Amino acid sequence: MNQYELCVVISAKIEDDARAEVLEKVKGLIERSNGTISDIDDWGKKKLAYEVQKMNEGYYYFIHFEAEPTAPREIEDRIRIMDNVLRFLCVSNEEA
For 44-74, write each residue's pLDDT tens digit: 999 999 998 889 999 999 999 999 999 999 9
Mean pLDDT of 77-81: 93
- CA angle, 6 then 9 then 72, to 5°: 25
Map out the domains of the chain with their CATH numbers: 2-92 (3.30.70.60)
Which pLDDT score, from 0 to 100, does residue 93 have?
82
18: left (phi over 0), alpha (psi -120 to 50) or beta: alpha
User: Whole-prediction pTM value?
Assistant: 0.89
Tens of pLDDT, residue by residue over 2-60, are 999 999 999 999 999 999 999 999 999 999 999 999 999 999 999 999 998 889 999 99
